[in-house]
A = this chain, B = another copy of it.
Amino acid sequence: MNPAMENQVTAAVLVIGDELLSGRTKDTNVGHIAETMTSIGIDLREVRFVPDVEEEIVAALNALRARYTYVFTTGGIGPTHDDITADAVAKAFGVGIDHDPRAVALLKERFKDGDLNEARMRMARIPNGAELVVNPVSKAPGFWIGNVITMAGVPAIMRAMLDHVVPQLKTGAKVLSETIDAGLKEGDIATDLREIAKNHPDTTIGSYPYMNEKGFATRVVVRSRDAAKLVAARADVEAMTERIRAALAAKRNRD
């Protein structure tokens, strides 16, 4: 990330739950939030996973909310004893937490009187001063307090909540990106690629190895908020990869 990218809108994700750390559940929310942020010009800068332990959640939240424009949390807002995110958020902000009448009304739409038991009512406990985040899937809302947006962990619900939140976010200039499939090994292009990266300071150039049937190959991703600079860097990467491909082919013919 180069200095020109500072003063951007930034974000972090806090993934909450023992089940992610035990490997029982595989997180897919981070990737979805990351893609969404990129698509609207917000830089996702950090992700943390913490267990269902209040002091861990509070400490991570306070570290992240001080540093980034937005913090998205996922998980821990259901009705069971291990769902402690709402309390942790309230504690992090030093505010009280109570049954919120707007949230109670939403739960009453979903549950008949007899079914809206004490445990389910826990899902209406919202830190004081928070706005609700709509949950079109199962009603029990997320919430938004300060720069922290608390969402469910179930991917379908998290995605629906994020769709609701996105139009309300302050966004930055979108990062444009181009991918060049170099068709070469990283080590064959690395020296030249370093020079190109140095010559194009307002772009970020990443190199990502992958394996295909012939062995390792590389995708180069050029990113910039400036379309002209992106095109210039891309052209340099393409010219370089063509030159090296030709040189290696000539070498193979000689050998």
Contacts and interface: CB of A to CB of B under 8 A. Distances in A.
Contacts of A138: 216
Interface residues of A, number: 77
A159 interface: no
A155 B248 CA distance: 28
Interface in A204-225: 204-211, 216, 221, 223
Interface string A192-210: 0110011000001111111
A209 B46 contact: no
Interface string A61-83: 00000000000000000111111
Question: How many copies make up the complex?
Answer: 2
Nearest to A22: B38
Contact of A45 (B51, B154, B209, B210): B51
Interface stretch (A25-33, A97-105, A143-151, A226-234): A25-33
A189 B82 CA distance: 13
Interface of A: prevailing SS: mixed
Contacts of A49: 30, 46-48
Interface stretch (A13-21, A85-93, A125-133): A13-21
Contacts of A21: 34, 43-47
Interface of A: 1, 15, 17-28, 30-38, 43-53, 56, 78-83, 111, 114-115, 117-120, 122-123, 138, 154, 156, 175, 177, 186-191, 193-194, 197-198, 204-211, 216, 221, 223, 251
